[in-house]
Structure 1
């Protein structure tokens, strides 16, 4: 029972510093035994194992915590459990004081002492700081982050400049809803996913810009997953991990782009897990983007996948023809220029998979027009954009090559991308890699990923194998030429 244990500890109090430390250790160990049963193991290890008991006298226990943030976090999240543990061990008259390490850069670390909020207060602390210091200190702590806060939002990314179509209707509607009531809806987190250049970053930042424009909150943060991971590593190396964590936990709307890049980064994922929990429990809005559905991201911990799926996932598909025309027209209006209808139709017809490349076409045409002072007609457009249009069509041919190979060798796409070493499958796979390198501008990495997630060295090996056979075998030359004809017909 708690009472007898408390009495034994109190009977051993002494005015000697050594015995005070021993008594403090025994009291704190007893408190830890109580807390272990009330907290999960991760929380206990993270927030209570680093604490050191300093001294125990007159029914008051003083413990040392490593930072202001550490103190604040315990008070905000575990105050009730800690109060009950102290009551169990010391009784209702027990008191707790924090000794907070404020600066370790000096030979003798600077500390202040503050009382536990929910325990009886006993006037000024030993160093003369009254209990009002805590209020001031908390405000100063927050202001250190508030005053240097930058949202990193692009002001051009708004809902007004975002074209809505069938390709993004769900994502658009959900984003508008979240922007009007962040953190107070069922779409938390909101996950926007889709291929490269389809407008994920534009849409997620439009939410943040709307929140700030309507003064719902100033504390909106956009960060790429790569920057988050780099800053996290730097924080560890520089001993600033607690300030790093505190900063993210104070954000009202957190937008993280391209979360697939967290795959395999275990420590970073652990930090994201704790930040996510804190923000979600505080009804703060979390917005994520990815290049694929959450369930398809390999190398992300199951507990994170589960949390990312708590809210709503909405995809963005490549825009249809009408939406592509609307995007082009919108970009032209933003730049205060007009294009001939044939030019708009040509671009919309030939650039089909990527909104970013639609925008790139417009920028390139305007730049060429400015440099050469020529009219932007269809002929000028075809000449100026021949590289972009060519690259776009060749990117699409990987799928065409795959279909031609599967048809020719009577195998399935799964066979082609799988691990089977049967002769017709292995040969078909190597020819597919060979033709992909010969007929497209796709990188070795892209080709390898397309054909079963293989690395570039496998593609090189496959290419060299077929290239040698083409040179030395009439049968192989005939097969490759036949396949090239099929691919050409299928591409028309």
Structure 2
């Protein structure tokens, strides 16, 4: 998940207060007064966040930021980011004058389950606030939207593509309205508070617009990915009925787009749904941190108390025994609860035997769909979609040129569009076919490069999970010899290398060995045989397509 870095915000807010408030003295808000919070003497820094605010409001806001900072330190980076996210505020307001308890108001994202947050973290917030304020406190929880309907930011403004939101229990079970409430005027501080929140929300919106959410309906569909798109779309509309879903294919073909898209669709179509998306590396890192420090219960809640869990780069788990056990338990828990799981991997089930029989068996009981490198129809759709999104007037002949010239993967097309847009802006000229040819000449040459023997070798090793040293070794077991023969066949098909050069490259073998390998593979193709490659059995045509997909993806 994306790391949450509030410390910079806390520091800025704290500095702002020191330049705008009077040391050790705060003015009352309405009929009540805020507690005295000593501030160190620091030279006055200019700051936009405080110059228009009253000292009392500044003190309240800054004290809240200090409580947030203390809570961040207490919970740790990952836990704070998972359970509170970015859309979270703390305000301090006095109770009635005769009461001895300071009132702390926690404003949380309305999509989060407030009652559960209150029960789980109330003690943590109270301890942090008590330390900052120097006395006992009462903590009240309210959703942000109840503070000011005029300036409440939509939850979607805080959601980003491929970003992991906190994994939370079902908000429908929350009874947050039973929690104590503080009157709005207690912490709004009139127009000053309104203006401050409005500024912060505008800043948040501006930031979120720089990284818009990845939408499922923006995915360019064609023959190369239609089945994968259909599987994810079906899962998005019928969560839990077809689980788990595995989308597999080489890098740069849209797997992560589909995962981020189903998460966005779920949040949009069913507000309050608990959704979490991780890369396999993030899952592993969070698990190990929990195992060795922060505690497993919190980590497990973040993964198992969700309605939709999406995990990218599933192949990363191969060989990680402890993490695999945790993942298997997570999958079993969600499956029993009827929740939806979606995986993405750069290889299919046959090449994921290292995940173990239980997990691969669970995958076989769900839905698997492959994605190949984008065909012409998909490439053209990607270019057209980018042009619409960026409001670029792209002539049809330029769209065709891009789709025909940059053929390996979607990232290459995005890079081409970036180059084209920058060139047009630099020259102050409209995009034409001549401009596109000149601007993208080197990218087109790179995309159309001739394949080398090293490319074949790397593609075979990547496709079937074997090492280059094994491919060139003298070992003659089927698990190694079959991939080697396939590599020689593909070298004959896709390169202009001589027989002697091919034999020399793949372990100093003779040209007759290369000819024999080519003949054997053609026999397999005629007989539609199944062959052993690494630790799995493959249909020969399927195996060849897989390597060629990797070659096209670069």
Instruction: Please classify the TM superposition score into its range, dividing by the shorter chain length.
Output: 0.5 to 0.7
Compute the displacement of 1:317 (Å).
1.6
Count of aligned pairs between the two proteins: 290
Matches within 5 A, 1:7-26: none
Which of 236, 259, 273 is residue 179 of structure 1 equivalent to? 236
Matches within 5 A, 1:99-118: none
Which of 287, 293, 317 is residue 262 of structure 1 equivalent to? 317
Which of 163, 166, 171 is residue 220 of structure 2 equivalent to? 163
Report the aligned-residue RMSD. 3.6
Q: Is the 8 A contact 1:258 1:290 kept in 2?
A: yes
Q: Give the gaps of 5 or more residues in structure 1.
A: 1-104, 106-135, 429-451, 454-492
Compute the displacement of 1:387 (Å).
2.9
Matches within 5 A, 1:463-478: none
Partner residue, 2:493: 403
Q: Is the 8 A contact 1:188 1:286 kept in 2?
A: yes
Partner residue, 2:372: 317
Say whether 1:346 aligns with 2:419.
no
Q: Assess, with a 3 A threshold, how the Cα gap between structure 1 residues 387 and 229 changes in structure 2: closer, same or farther.
A: farther
Matches within 5 A, 1:210-225: 210-215=265-270, 217-225=272-280
Matches within 5 A, 1:7-406: 140-141=119-120, 153-154=161-162, 155-183=212-240, 185=241, 187-215=242-270, 217-297=272-352, 299-394=354-449, 398=455, 402-403=492-493
Q: Which deviations, in whole Å up to 9, do the C-alpha atoms of 1:318-337 show, x marking residues without a partner? A: 22223321221111111111
SS of match in other structure, 1:288: strand
**What CA distance in whole angstroms lies between the structure 1 residues aligned with 2:424 and 2:326?**
50
Q: Is the 8 A contact 1:152 1:223 kept in 2?
A: no
Q: Is the 8 A contact 2:450 2:495 kept in 1?
A: no
Q: Assess, with a 3 A threshold, how the Cα gap between structure 1 residues 315 and 251 changes in structure 2: closer, same or farther.
A: same
**What CA distance in whole angstroms lies between the structure 2 residues aligned with 1:142 and 1:276?**
27
**What CA distance in whole angstroms lies between the structure 2 residues aligned with 1:217 and 1:198?**
30
Compute the displacement of 1:258 (Å).
1.0
Q: Which deviations, in whole Å up to 9, do the C-alpha atoms of 1:420-465 show, x marking residues without a partner? A: 653448999xxxxxxxxxxxxxxxxxxxxxxx99xxxxxxxxxxxx
Q: Which deviations, in whole Å up to 9, do the C-alpha atoms of 1:224-256 show, x marking residues without a partner? A: 111111111211221412221222110110000
TM-score, with length taken from structure 1? 0.52
Compute the displacement of 1:302 (Å).
2.2
**What CA distance in whole angstroms lies between the structure 2 residues aligned with 1:416 and 1:141?**
65
**What CA distance in whole angstroms lies between the structure 2 residues aligned with 1:195 and 1:225?**
16
**What CA distance in whole angstroms lies between the structure 2 residues aligned with 1:151 and 1:294?**
31
**What CA distance in whole angstroms lies between the structure 2 residues aligned with 1:207 and 1:256?**
12
Q: Assess, with a 3 A threshold, how the Cα gap between structure 1 residues 417 and 181 changes in structure 2: closer, same or farther.
A: farther
Compute the displacement of 1:291 (Å).
1.0
**What CA distance in whole angstroms lies between the structure 2 residues aligned with 1:331 and 1:424?**
48
**What CA distance in whole angstroms lies between the structure 1 residues aligned with 2:505 and 2:248?**
24
Q: Assess, with a 3 A threshold, how the Cα gap between structure 1 residues 395 and 211 changes in structure 2: closer, same or farther.
A: farther
SS of match in other structure, 1:376: coil
Compute the displacement of 1:139 (Å).
7.3
Q: Which deviations, in whole Å up to 9, do the C-alpha atoms of 1:113-165 show, x marking residues without a partner? A: xxxxxxxxxxxxxxxxxxxxxxx999724999x99x99764553112211221
**What CA distance in whole angstroms lies between the structure 2 residues aligned with 1:141 and 1:217?**
18
**What CA distance in whole angstroms lies between the structure 1 residues aligned with 2:224 and 2:414?**
17
SS of match in other structure, 1:254: strand
**What CA distance in whole angstroms lies between the structure 2 residues aligned with 1:193 and 1:416?**
34
**What CA distance in whole angstroms lies between the structure 2 residues aligned with 1:278 and 1:211?**
20
SS of match in other structure, 1:222: strand
* Consecutive aligned runs of 4 or more in structure 1 exceeding 3 Å deviation: 136-139, 141-144, 149-155, 395-402, 404-408, 415-418, 420-428
Q: Is the 8 A contact 1:224 1:257 kept in 2?
A: yes
**What CA distance in whole angstroms lies between the structure 2 residues aligned with 1:299 and 1:404?**
31
Q: Which deviations, in whole Å up to 9, do the C-alpha atoms of 1:257-297 show, x marking residues without a partner? A: 11111111111111101101000110010000011112213
Q: Is the 8 A contact 2:451 2:494 kept in 1?
A: no
Q: Which has the higher contact order (CA 8 A, sep 6+)?
A: 2
SS of match in other structure, 2:449: helix
Q: Assess, with a 3 A threshold, how the Cα gap between structure 1 residues 215 and 338 changes in structure 2: closer, same or farther.
A: same
Q: Is the 8 A contact 1:167 1:319 kept in 2?
A: yes
Q: Give the gaps of 5 or more residues in structure 2.
A: 1-73, 75-114, 125-140, 144-154, 163-211, 457-489, 516-532, 535-554
SS of match in other structure, 1:367: helix
